[in-house]
Amino acid sequence: MRQAHFPFRALAKIIAVNFLKAREGNVGMMFAMSVLPILLAVTLAIDFTRASDEKAKMDAAIDAAVLYAATAAAADPNAASYEAQQAAAQKYFTSALGPLRDGISVGPISVKVSKDPNSQSTIISTATYTASIETMFGDLFKPTIDISGSASATMQTPSYIDFYLLLDNSPSMGLAATDADIQRLRTLTKDGPGGEQKDCQFACHIVVTNPKDSKQTAFRDGVNNTWEKDNSSPTKLKQDYYTIAKAAVPPILLRIDMLAQAVKSLTETAKATSVKSGLANQFRMAIYTFNDAVQYIASPGSTNSEPLSSDLTGVGATAASKVTLYPYKDGDIQDKTNFQVGFAALDALKLSPGDGSTSAKPEKYVFFVTDGVSDATTKRIQGPIDPTLCANLKNRGVKIAVLYTPYLRLTNNSYYMSNIDPFISQVPVKLKECASPGMYYTADSTGIAAAMNQMFHDALRSARLTQ
């Protein structure tokens, strides 16, 4: 149905003619003189409000059109040309705009889609429109109001990416994962072995590796729930704090357990994404744990010389079983968080990132997960990470995503309060300096999986408006 309009033009002409013919008194003359300007002001306001509303609708439609064009082109990144996507985007604009009101006309819509000359994995889409809107006093003044608009968008085509997971499995990752589990572990260790290491929330403490070693004579009776100071009763079950945590019902979750689960979840997300994109071997992963040394954890299809594996299911299974707390014996739990050896191992790979456009040119990401507290000298001088350790990788074009897993504040632990708490506020500051721009994350123990999946999704760039 056509929209009905009040006959402002005809009314204005009648008023003007009557005004010129009028011979009556001053009141009528003044009224007639004031009506025309008032009517003009009202109609101009209506014209410009209408033009503003229509422009907002057209801007929204052109935004939708460029996003549509970029997304459609990214689905066929190897196309010889993008004429079909351009034509489809023009139709999409018309559809998004909907039926035009009377007095509105839209000129030809220009849409251009191309690859970024500096990155063949990036699609650039631009579009412009022009339109005109008839005014109510067009016979007396300007007949139309002209409007125009433009928009552009970029879309990253499905990228090939290699992920290097650098995971902290040092003693501090043996901290119970939640406040509730901390209390459970403290209860189970309330007596300690021979009255030592009592009331402990760290599963890394009292790790027995050699029962015949006089320094390692702390055994726990699994039947009577008592500690023995020697090994004179070989029939008694020998357990360390880690074993106690795992044997609890239900098992006490440690931060290292949450990290292993998070890596498995990450591999599942990556595999689902790869299946959806239809690209074989789109993502490859390598797992490294570090403490006072680096441990490369081989996954199916990978070797020390070629650490990456595209078998994401296999990588996930490997993480679930082999990302564990590094084994320490009692009295040997310090000097075990050496960031330098971790980054040196990755530096030695001489990583050379590509633009992600093909499997031969993958982008390179390091996912670095840690509590950020260095403990790497025999004098046990603890402190935040030195962010210059990350510089070599970033200078080579490798992107570093950092996930900070803060300590739960151990106010009842005198060592923590004396040695860690004074500098703990600087830990996230230094880790953020290590991270590539926009790639610093933080999560408590129970949020590691969600954070690592977010890191993955942020590594995959999606369509976004640029203008």
Among 158-162, 288-292, 361-365, 458-462, the minimum mean pLDDT is found in: 458-462
Q: In the chain, what are the helix, strand and coil shares in percent, each to the nearest 5? A: 40, 20, 40
Q: What pLDDT is recorded for position 303?
A: 78
With a cut of 80, say whether residue 348 has pLDDT above it.
Answer: yes
With a cut of 70, say whether residue 241 has pLDDT above it.
Answer: yes
Mean pLDDT of the chain: 78
CA distance 289 to 296: 7
Residues of the chain with CATH 3.40.50.410: 161-175+254-462
Calculate mean pLDDT across residues 230-240: 46
Q: What pLDDT is recorded for position 234?
A: 41
pLDDT tens for each residue of 47-63: 677 778 888 889 999 99
Q: How confident is the model at residue 280 (pLDDT cuts 50, 70, 90)?
A: confident
The token pair at 45 is 């306001």
pLDDT tens for each residue of 119-150: 767 889 999 999 988 876 655 566 788 889 99
CA distance 18 to 23: 10
The amino acid that residue 17 corresponds to is V
As to burial, measured by CB atoms within 10 angstroms (0-12 exposed, 13-18 middle, 19+ buried), residue 425 is exposed
Q: What pLDDT is recorded for position 237?
A: 38
Calculate mean pLDDT across residues 66-84: 82
Q: Is 43 left (phi over 0), alpha (psi -120 to 50) or beta?
A: alpha
DSSP string, 242-283: HHHHHHSSSPPPBHHHHHHHHHHHHHHHHHHHHHHHT-TT-E
For tokens 């994404």, the residue is: 273
With a cut of 50, say whether residue 27 has pLDDT above it.
Answer: yes
Q: What pLDDT is recorded for position 169?
A: 87
CA distance 376 to 383: 9
With a cut of 90, say whether residue 286 has pLDDT above it.
Answer: yes
Calculate mean pLDDT across residues 321-347: 75
Residues with Cβ within 8 Å of 220's Cβ and at least 6 positions away in sequence, in order, are: 193, 226, 227, 228, 237, 238, 239, 240, 244
Q: What pLDDT is recorded for position 103?
A: 81
CA distance 172 to 339: 14
Among 112-116, 299-303, 362-366, the minimum mean pLDDT is found in: 299-303
As to burial, measured by CB atoms within 10 angstroms (0-12 exposed, 13-18 middle, 19+ buried), residue 155 is buried
Q: What is the b/e burial string over 113-130, where b = at least 16 CB atoms within 10 angstroms of the residue's CB?
A: bebeeeeebbbbbbbbbb
Q: Which of 169, 173, 166 is nearest to 367 (CA)?
A: 166
Residues 199 and 315: beta-carbon distance below 8 Å: no
As to burial, measured by CB atoms within 10 angstroms (0-12 exposed, 13-18 middle, 19+ buried), residue 69 is buried
- The fraction of the chain above a pLDDT of 90, given in percent, is 29
pLDDT tens for each residue of 391-437: 999 999 999 999 999 876 777 777 778 888 899 899 999 999 999 99
Q: What pLDDT is recorded for position 350?
A: 94
More confident site: 352 or 31: 352
CA distance 228 to 84: 79
- How far does Cα 414 stand from its chain's mean position? 36
Cis peptide upstream of residue 300 (ω within 30 degrees of 0): no
Calculate mean pLDDT across residues 324-332: 60
With a cut of 70, say whether residue 360 has pLDDT above it.
Answer: yes
pLDDT tens for each residue of 437-450: 999 999 988 899 99
The amino acid that residue 62 corresponds to is I
Q: Which of 239, 258, 263, 290 is nearest to 175 (CA)?
A: 258
Q: How confident is the model at residue 226 (pLDDT cuts 50, 70, 90)?
A: very low
CA distance 354 to 398: 9
Domain 161-175+254-462 is of which CATH architecture?
3-Layer(aba) Sandwich (3.40)
Q: What pLDDT is recorded for position 285?
A: 96
For tokens 């721009």, the residue is: 437
With a cut of 70, say whether residue 327 has pLDDT above it.
Answer: no
Q: What pLDDT is recorded for position 200?
A: 64
